[in-house]
Amino acid sequence: MIIGIVLLLTATANAQVKNGNEAVNKICGCFDVAFKYAETFSPVMDYKYHDRDEISGGTELAFPIEISDKKISIQHLLLVSDSMIVKHWREDWTFENPVIWKYTDTKTWVKQQLKPEQVKGKWTQTVWEVSDEPRYQGYGQFTDLDGEVLWQSTTDAPLPRREYSVRSDYNILNRTNRLHITDSGYIHEQDNKKIIRKEGVDKLLVKEKGMNSYKRITNSECAVAKSYWEHNKAYWLKVENVWTAYLSTHNTIQLKVKVDGKVIHQLLFNLLDDYNAKKVSDAEIDNKIKEAIYKYIE
């Protein structure tokens, strides 16, 4: 009887890993993307709504840069034009991940140890910024619903780039992320709350709905992006390694928004340009990257 139960649990766990791998693989590819956001409701009587019908889009390549049974790391590249490729965000998917970096306040994350039952059978999505600094983590289980795979989580996050560059009237984005995955692409649906957090007390400023669509197109339309990555991946791996080393030895991380008027990704992109132009040598680049990142750590 006990052996039967163990075999059943093992088979269930293996199925969850397999289903998660298959789902995550479907969010890799070349996509025509469209992002749409609208603020929907505010309890503040005189609130002035922002971007009630904001739409943007483009072409984006998402491809795995690390694969194992219980982890898939996906790099996103944005195709601005055939001659201009931008390193975009990165997402790591990990099965039954016991550690979460919880976003608590402006540019501050605290490491939390989760109970095994909290993450049993679940996949954690870890989203990293363009600079590979932390952004947010959320966990949920992949479920199959009439041919569509669904994954959902709710977590606190910093302001997205589309917001922090133009406003500072709130400091927490409580986001419910819902992925609807099919063979032709996926929809990233969001139900967000823009929150003012002060001394541990949350006040809702406004709610927001987001619908980001990823429609699969032929891989040849993203060929130039893959070439960009082959040329620059060694540099970005070094950047990722600096962050990984710091996070593995600390329980809290607090980052500055700007240093000398620049946000961190500006400094790292400038350093990449210098490295490619041979203004910074292979012997210097690791220390230069570490110096750049540590300028932003409080």
Query: What residues pair up with 271 in beta bridges, in sequence order?
Result: none
Q: Could you report the per-residue pLDDT of 250-260, keeping only the tens digit for each?
A: 999 999 999 99
Q: Could you report the per-residue pLDDT of 23-59, keeping only the tens digit for each?
A: 999 999 999 999 999 999 999 999 999 865 566 779 9
Query: What residues pair up with 76 in beta bridges, in sequence order?
Result: 62
Pairing between strand 185-198 and 172-182?
antiparallel
Torsion angle, alpha carbons of 158, 163, 165, 168, to 10: -70
The edge-to-edge listing of strands for the beta sheet with 252-254 is 99-105, 108-113, 252-254
What was the pLDDT predicted at 2? 53
- How far apart are the C-alpha atoms of 69 and 20, rounded to whole Å? 10
Q: Is residue 12 scored above 80 in pLDDT?
A: no
Say if residues 70 and 96 touch (Cβ distance below 8 Å): yes
Paired tokens of 147: 């041919």
Q: What's the mean pLDDT in 242-269?
A: 96
Residue with tokens 């363009």: 130
Give Cβ neighbours of residue 244 (< 8 Å, ≥ 6 apart).
none
- What number of CA atoms fall less than 13 Å from residue 180's CA on the CB side? 11
Q: Could you report the per-residue pLDDT of 140-153, keeping only the tens digit for each?
A: 999 988 878 999 99
* pTM of this structure: 0.92
Q: For the residues of 167-233, what is the DSSP string, one character each?
A: --S--EEEEEEEEEEETTEEEEEEEEEEEEEETTEEEEEEEEEEEEEEEEE-GGGGHHHHHHHHHHH
Helix (H) or strand (E) holding 79: strand 71-81
Q: What's the mean pLDDT in 212-230?
A: 95
Report the share of the chain in percent with pLDDT over 70. Answer: 93
- Band (pLDDT 50/70/90 cuts) for residue 8 is very low
